[in-house]
Amino acid sequence: MEVQIQNLSRAFGTFRALDQVNLDIRQGESLSLIGPDGAGKTTLLRILCGLLRPDSGKCLIAGKDVLGDQRFLKSLIGYMPQRFSLYPDLTVSENLRFFADLFQVSASDRAARTKRLLAFSGLGPFLKRKAADLSGGMKQKLALSCTLIHTPAILFLDEPTTGVDPVSRREFWNILEDLHMQGVTLLVTTPYMDEAGRCDRVALLNRGRILATEAPGRFSGFFGGLLFELRCEALFRAVKALRSDEKFDSVQGFGDRIHVAGRGSETGLVSRIRSVLAREKIQVESLSRIPAGIEDVFVDLIRRQDS
């Protein structure tokens, strides 16, 4: 195990940011951590980086306690905080140099690494540009490059693509996948479900507790009930009518479709949905049972934990 988190708890005053968290990450694995705001994602990463002390429990990285030998740990991990701020008045190359200096990257390694980082980030033509003048996506790539300058074996990334345009997001994840292929262990928090699905495993965190950890394709098993996808006219009215029926656990709009979850027999639920809509004189276009995706499971698990 590369990263082991054991019974980790941390409170801020009366707020329990982390509550008995257990999580293992294998060497070379990529794991994404998803959860609503305030779930404890950032707190967990900060403890892993040794920036924050846990109240109880412990974290091991490569078998060593994160509160132990800082020099060893800091050479092993790379951390990109959510609010990664470069120095806006420094140029791309000055920012890179500063972090290379801080991590004491030797002169012989430096040139080759900088060249490789510039190649994959596409920052080569912007070396003399100030960080303040880069686009959002470019800034994140520079931030990642600064995090990678000392070739960490384990990367902790806190919402690295929040506020970045979709094209840059995809490019950023392609870079992460390359790193993954090279054997870097990744722990990424993200609010985007599609991004989470690109990792080996996904962990759901809510109110300081891990609700599930599974490969992206195997989440449906966690779903406590049956899920139906409905296409119909008058979506807004349909959602409202279905929500007023206590038989259904959750009714969520997904673009032009509605996901309806409930318990009981499949035929019973189907006829119930049809009768609710018939009463509202809403025409059904299609209605079928579907396997639950990560997002459905996520919503379901949180609903069950909160109730």
Distance CA 185, CA 169 (A): 20
Question: Binder to another protein among 79, 126, 172, 173 (CB under 8 A)?
Answer: 79
Contacts to another protein from residues 132-171, by CB under 8 A: 146
The maximal CA–CA distance of the chain, rounded, in angstroms, is 75
Can residue 92 be called a binding residue for another protein (CB under 8 A)? no
Can residue 290 be called a binding residue for another protein (CB under 8 A)? no
Can residue 102 be called a binding residue for another protein (CB under 8 A)? yes
In the complex, least distance from residue 117 CB atom to another protein, rounded to whole angstroms: 16
Can residue 89 be called a binding residue for another protein (CB under 8 A)? yes
Can residue 51 be called a binding residue for another protein (CB under 8 A)? yes
**Axis crossing angle, helix 92-102 with helix 136-148, rounded to the nearest 10:** 30
Tell me how far CA of residue 230 lies from CA of 186, 221, 227, 290, 292, in angstroms: 37, 21, 10, 10, 14
Q: Which stretch binds another protein (CB under 8 A): 23-31, 50-58, 173-181, 285-293?
A: 50-58
Question: Binder to another protein among 26, 27, 64, 87 (CB under 8 A)?
Answer: 87
Can residue 84 be called a binding residue for another protein (CB under 8 A)? yes
User: Of 37 and 256, which CB lies nearer to another protein in the complex structure?
Assistant: 37
Can residue 75 be called a binding residue for another protein (CB under 8 A)? yes
* Per-residue b or e along 33-54, where b marks 16 or more CB atoms closer than 10 Å to that residue's CB: bbbeeebbbbbbbbbbbbebeb
Q: What are phi and psi of 245, to 5 degrees?
A: -95, 120
Distance CA 81, CA 25 (A): 19
Characterize the bridge pairing of strands 201-206 and 30-34. parallel
Ordered alpha helix ranges (H), 153-208: 166-181, 193-196
Question: Binder to another protein among 55, 69, 101, 165 (CB under 8 A)?
Answer: 101
User: Of 84 and 222, which CB lies nearer to another protein in the complex structure?
Assistant: 84
In the complex, least distance from residue 152 CB atom to another protein, rounded to whole angstroms: 10
Sign of CA dihedral 257, 258, 263, 269: negative
In the complex, least distance from residue 40 CB atom to another protein, rounded to whole angstroms: 9
Residue 80 · residue 161 · CB < 8 Å: no
User: Of 54 and 137, which CB lies nearer to another protein in the complex structure?
Assistant: 54
In the complex, least distance from residue 64 CB atom to another protein, rounded to whole angstroms: 16
Question: Binder to another protein among 32, 42, 121, 185 (CB under 8 A)?
Answer: 42
Can residue 94 be called a binding residue for another protein (CB under 8 A)? yes
Question: Which among 163, 205, 177, 170 is positioned nearest to 45, based on CA atoms?
Answer: 205
Q: How far is CA 59 from the centre of its chain?
A: 19
Can residue 90 be called a binding residue for another protein (CB under 8 A)? yes
User: Of 159 and 296, which CB lies nearer to another protein in the complex structure?
Assistant: 159
List of residues 6+ apart from 13 with CB closer than 8 A: none
- Residues of this chain that interact with another protein (CB under 8 A) are 42-43, 46, 49-53, 70-71, 74-75, 77-79, 81, 83-87, 89-90, 94, 97-99, 101-104, 146
